[in-house]
């Protein structure tokens, strides 16, 4: 449980930091993605000697090779689409779309992972996801612009990647799997974009390091959550991340009209989390 809670903090910190980099400092997606992923790989590499586990024979398994390859392609596409959506949409509209991720992940887990079909966490997860989603719909008129459509596709791919990660975790430790993933994605982004890193402002460069720290915090602990709690329960706890994003919007961006209803929704989510945590199913 603690892994998922800390991961939700990492999610909120990463979203706020990336939005600042993209909007305030006008850093292109073609610079943000490769640089952040380089830092993700460097930071994760620090933990490999202690938490890494690597078995060469695992890489010779055709099933593992296929799953890993699909995961890499999926990760590249959804990270590009997500960054573009975050850059072009305002924070609330972006979060509105990304709030579909938990519900999509929970549904996909129930469809593709037999071990995730316990009725208790599944129902609680759907209730928590819908509660948060409906709280956003009441405040917005959803217009599916071209950018929004691509962001929705990115959200669905991010949910799909969660299933692939769960299927790969029996073969690798969370740290090893995440390190190899971000290293390969970083290389792909560098070849795709060839960013001029030295031309960035120092402030933006520093924020990218901070974003990478939040990213490692979020994703590695998410992997541990998938391994120890399961996809559904971890996804439920990660719903706290969007709550934190909206709280930051209230505290630092003056969007006070969203706070009270979000606090009520947060209460529903907390009840759902407590139910899954303390009631056996």
Model confidence at 253: pLDDT above 70 = no
Nearest to 71 by CA among 82, 79, 61, 83: 79
Distance (Å, rounded) from C-alpha 83 to C-alpha 192?
A: 15
Please give the residue that has the higher pLDDT: either 210 or 139. Answer: 210
Better-predicted residue by pLDDT, 197 or 270: 197
pLDDT of residue 169: 93
**Which tokens go with 182?**
């971000």
Closest to 183 measured CA to CA, from 195, 172, 175, 173: 175
Mean pLDDT of 38-53: 93
* pTM greater than 0.85 (yes/no): no
Cα-based distances in Å from 36 to 32, 94, 206: 6, 20, 10
Give the pLDDT band of residue 249 (cuts 50, 70, 90). low
Tell me the Cα Rg of the chain: 18
- The Cβ of residue 251 has, within 10 Å, a number of other Cβ atoms equal to 11
CA–CA dist 78, 91 (Å, integer): 18
Half-sphere exposure of 230 (CA within 13 A, CB side): 20
Could you report the per-residue pLDDT of 255-270, keeping only the tens digit for each?
555 556 666 776 787 7
Question: Is pLDDT at 76 greater than 60 in this prediction?
Answer: yes
């Amino acid at each position: 449980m603690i892994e998922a809670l800390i991961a939700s903090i990492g999610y909120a910190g990463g979203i706020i930091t990336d939005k600042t980099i993209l909007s305030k400092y006008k850093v292109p997606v073609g610079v943000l993605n490769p640089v952040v992923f380089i830092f993700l790989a460097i930071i994760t590499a620090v933990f490999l000697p202690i938490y890494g586990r690597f078995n060469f024979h695992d890489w010779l398994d055709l099933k593992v090779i296929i799953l890993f390859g699909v995961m890499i392609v999926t990760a590249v596409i959804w990270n590009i689409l997500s960054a573009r959506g975050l850059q072009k949409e305002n924070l609330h509209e972006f979060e509105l779309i990304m709030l579909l991720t938990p519900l999509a992940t929970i549904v996909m887990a129930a469809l593709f992972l037999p071990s995730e079909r316990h009725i208790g966490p599944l129902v609680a997860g759907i209730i928590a996801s819908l509660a948060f989603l409906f709280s956003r719909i009441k405040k917005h008129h959803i217009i599916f612009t071209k950018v929004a459509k691509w962001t929705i596709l990115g959200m669905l791919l991010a949910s799909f990647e969660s299933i692939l990660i769960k299927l790969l975790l029996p073969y690798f430790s969370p740290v090893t799997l995440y390190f190899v993933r971000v290293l390969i994605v970083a290389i792909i982004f560098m070849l795709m974009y060839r960013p001029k890193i030295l031309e960035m402002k120092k402030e933006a460069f520093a924020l990218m390091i901070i974003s990478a720290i939040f990213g490692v915090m979020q994703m590695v602990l998410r992997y541990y959550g998938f391994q120890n709690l399961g996809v559904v329960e971890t996804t439920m706890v990660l719903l706290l991340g969007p709550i934190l994003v909206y709280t930051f919007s209230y505290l630092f961006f003056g969007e006070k009209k969203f706070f009270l209803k979000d606090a009520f929704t947060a209460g529903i989510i907390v009840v759902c989390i407590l139910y899954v945590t303390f009631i056996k199913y």
